Amino acid sequence: MSKRKQFSNSNLLTLPVFYILLSLTTQERHGYDIMKQVEHDSNGKIKLGAGTLYGAIKRMLEDKLIVEGSSEHARRRYYKLTEKGRSIFNNQLERYNQAVEIARQKNLFAKLALAYV
């Protein structure tokens, strides 16, 4: 096992990993589809290159956050969330939700002239 820090329920996710997991919450996806979904979900703010995407996928596979799914396409590898991946994603999403709620309660969006939907 590598010396790098493994994912656990208490680890914060990088934005690329968060958005990759987000893209897999609704369905299995192949690499290019993940890239497009991340770009869509982030409103174009995150554009994953192949190296970033497949490096993250490799680490997430090693850490069992995702697994390869079944595919009818020999050239495409599909990925799906594991229960561990879903749990870690949900914990991170809850952290974000709590932070947004605190900011809303403190009226920070208006004070900072930020849009809150």
Whole-number pLDDT of residue 98: 96
Q: What is the pLDDT along the chain (117 residues), one digit of tens a residue?
A: 444 556 655 568 999 999 999 999 999 999 999 999 999 999 999 999 999 999 999 999 999 999 999 877 778 899 999 999 999 999 999 999 999 999 889 888 887 776 655
Radius of gyration of the chain (CA): 16
Crossing angle of helices 83-105 and 15-23, rounded to 10°: 110
What residue spans define the domains of the chain? Answer: 15-111
3-state SS assignment for residue 104: helix
Our measurement of the distance from residue 98's CA atom to the centroid of its chain's CA atoms, rounded to an integer in Å, reads 18
- What is the dihedral sign for C-alpha 89, 91, 93, 95? negative
Write down the pTM of the prediction: 0.84
55 token code pair: 């490096």
Q: Which residues pair with 29 in a beta bridge?
A: 79
Whole-number pLDDT of residue 2: 47
Amino acid at position 45, single letter: K
Whole-number pLDDT of residue 109: 80
Whole-number pLDDT of residue 90: 96
Whole-number pLDDT of residue 71: 74
CATH code given to domain 15-111: 1.10.10.10
Whole-number pLDDT of residue 83: 97
Whole-number pLDDT of residue 110: 82
